[in-house]
Every structure is written in structure tokens, then in C-alpha cells.
Amino acid sequence: MKTTKDNKKIVVIVGATASGKTGLSIKLAKAFDGEVISADSRQVYKQMDIGTAKITKKEMADIPHYLLDVASPKKKFTVAQYRKLGLKALNNIFKKDKLPIVCGGTGFYIQALVDGIVMPEVKPDWKLRKGLEQKTIGELYLMLKKLDPKRAENIDKNNPRRLIRAIEISLTIKKPIPAIKANPLPYPVLFLGVQKDPEKLKKDIEKRFYLWLKQGFLNEIKKLRKAGLSWKRIEEFGMHYRAFSLYLQGEITYEEAEEQSLKELWQYTKRQATWFKRDKRIIWVKNSAEAKKLSKKFLSYEK
RNA sequence: GGGUAGGUACCAAAGUAGUCAAAUGGACCUGACUGUAAAUCAGGUGGCUUACGCCUCCGGGGGUGCAAGUCCCUCCCUGCCCA
């Protein structure tokens, strides 16, 4: 089946980590002549393969993939860049008359791309941040209120990270702050969610985690270090990257690192679930057959 | 056997007479998330109740006292030190 120029559609695959999104994306891509746009905030980085469960060349089975390895782990990658590159990839795929399959676990990225958030690119200003970090959240809030009353209205007042970023943005793009407006893609989108029994999911996460370790996850971290990343930066990647950085620095034991990783991996899947739960467009499927059926139906009608 | 420190809610750990259903951290649950998102943040976590409130609770038992997690006696248990 082929999509045609005037029949542009998008399939989105979401789900928890280790739920089987990747496998499904390949199946759908093969069945419906698609190409994959990854939506994963850590797989965008080069040199982070094992710990991000990045799809391998072999697994790709010649299906083109986008938004993988597009950034240096030294530099911060943001949603704004994701959206920009994602849009480009989308057009690329449409140009080839193929079906774009957006697949990943970073709900925020998917939202930015598909539902559209217009945002100017603002690079992190480390000096600024360092200064702001000294302030209390009350002070930060007041500051933001002065700079951008509108943004201050609906920001989480207790969240220093968001406060700082908001200030940073309004300071560098000067006034007036562009109202962030939703700018959804003008194409029909099918949202598929890969569902897995929680018990099974937990087991699979664990299994995959130990596989990473066996595949040399520790070496991956060491390589990142050699490439010049600070421990602090590696810790920012979170979860097992943080836990094992701590271990390699001698701050916690290996066992503690394992335990902490597993714990945080699970907490992460719960956060993902919370995020996806509220998106009522997502149709939850239990297997690829179901997904194929739904996709077929979705793709068969003309726009 | 002697000495000593301790036994507090799922865990760790404050509290040493009233303002304690009991600080704080973790874990867990629920949730927010339109600019670091694998990040960050919020709320909840003895029982019943919409709520006011009521009941149960700080190793066991017994006291003192208007009032006890907090004081006294005793028993049990744990750590450490000396035998």
C-alpha cells in the first residue's frame, strides 16, 4: 500500500519503555511502506546506543530512520530542535511518498511535533543559569513575572527548572514573548499505544537492563567520559546513566547502582503512563496484528 | 553473666509530659508538565467520615499523673563493649 501526495497521513506509536514499540514500527513500516521518525529524547544523541536501547542497523532492516544520532551528547538537545528536525524529516518522507511513522516514548517530543508548538530556538546560557540557580523560587517567579507576565501565569511556580528556562528564553529573545501557540499538523494522525501487562513489562525492563550491562553499558559511559563529557553531564541523562556514573566515581556500590537503575526505570515508565493516559486519541493495542488492522483501516480511506 | 546503647508508622530516622496521627528522607500511590522532558515539579500514604469529628497507635504488660511516644517498674528483643 502506498500513500499518495494528496493522501498524507501519519502513524504515531507510543508506549512505555521496553513495550515493543521498535519492533512494531518496523513491522508497520514494512507493511505500509513507511519510514520511521524516532521520538526519543536520549536516542537523538550519538554515542548513546546501549543505554538508550537504540535500534541497530540490522534491526532497521533497511527502513530509513530519522532523528537518531542527530546531536552530540556534549551539547544539550531541546524540544525546539526536535520539532524543527522532525518537521524536516516529515516533509522528506512525504516527498518520497512514504508513510511517516513517529515512534518513541518521549511524549513531550511527540506533542511538540504533532500538535505543534511554535518556539524560537534559545540555546542554554550557562552563566545565566548559574546565577539564577542561587535564587529562591520566589525570586525567580517574581523575575519571570516582570519579564513575561503571561508565561508566569501558567507556569509551575514551584519548579525551578522551568522557571529558569522561562527566564532564560524571555531574556535572550527579548520582549515580547511570543505566545506559544499550538500549530497542529494538517494531516490525519493515527495514535497507537503499545500495551503490555505491567508484570510482564516490569520483567522485560529488567531483562533488557541486564542485557545492556552485558553489552557493555559501562564502557559506553567510559567512552562518553573519554569523549570529554563531565560526570555532571552524564548524570543529567538520568536513570541508569546517572546511577552508573555515580558507581564509576566510587560514590555508590555496583549493587546500589543496579538497584537504583531498576527503580528509576520503573518510575519512569509510570510517568510515561501518566502522560499517555490523558491523551484520548491513543488507541491501545496488544499486538502487531491489531496495530496492522487499525493502520490498514486508517490508511485505506482517502482524505 | 556484667556494662552500655537502643526498640517509633512500609523502611530509615526525629521527637523525651499537653500545641503528636507523630518532623524529615526514602519507598509506594496519584497527578502536573507548551521551552533540560530518561528531566523537573505537586499532592497523598493508620481506620471510619463529604466535613466538623470520632476511634486505634510509638516492642509487651503494669504504674504515676488532669494529661505519657515522652516519667517509673517489669518482661521480651537487638547492637556494641567487657567477661
Q: How far is the CA of A202 from the C1' of B79 (A)?
A: 37
Mean pLDDT for A100-113 is 96
Q: Which residue, chain included where needed, has cell 496488544?
A: A286
CATH architecture observed for domain A198-273: Orthogonal Bundle (1.10)
Percent with pLDDT over 70 in chain A:
94
* Domains A10-117+183-196+280-300 and A198-273 belong to one CATH topology: no
ipTM of the complex: 0.87
CA A53, distance to chain mean position in Å, is 13
Provide the edge-to-edge strand list for the sheet that holds A10-15. Answer: A65-66, A34-38, A99-103, A10-15, A189-194, A283-285
Q: How far is the CA of A242 from the C1' of B24 (A)?
A: 25
pLDDT band at A224 (very low <50, low <70, confident <90, very high): very high
Which nucleotides of strand B are protein-proximal, with an atom < 7 A from a CB?
27-42
**Residues 58-117 of chain A in contact with strand B via CB under 7 angstroms:** 76-80, 105-109, 111, 117
**Residues 198-227 of chain A in contact with strand B via CB under 7 angstroms:** none
The Cα–Cα gap between A80 and A170 comes to 15
Query: Cβ-count burial of A89 within 10 angstroms (0-12 exposed, 13-18 middle, 19+ buried)?
Result: buried
Whether A156 sits with its Cβ under 7 A from any strand B atom: the answer reads yes
What is the value of pTM for the model shown? 0.89
Which of A49-53, A77-81, A167-171 is modeled with the greatest confidence?
A49-53
Mean pLDDT for A73-84 is 92
Q: How far is the CA of A245 from the C1' of B6 (A)?
A: 37
- Asked if the model's pLDDT at residue A179 lies above 70, the reply is no
Question: What's chain A's length in residues?
Answer: 303
Q: How far is the CA of A141 from the C1' of B32 (A)?
A: 18
The Cα–Cα gap between A11 and A100 comes to 6
Q: What is the mean pLDDT of chain A?
A: 90
The Cα–Cα gap between A156 and A100 comes to 34
Q: Which residue, chain included where needed, has cell 555496583?
A: A254
The CATH superfamily holding the domain A10-117+183-196+280-300 is P-loop containing nucleotide triphosphate hydrolases (3.40.50.300)
The Cα–Cα gap between A76 and A59 comes to 27
Q: How far is the CA of A253 from the C1' of B70 (A)?
A: 39
Q: Where do the domains of chain A lie?
A: 10-117+183-196+280-300, 126-172, 198-273
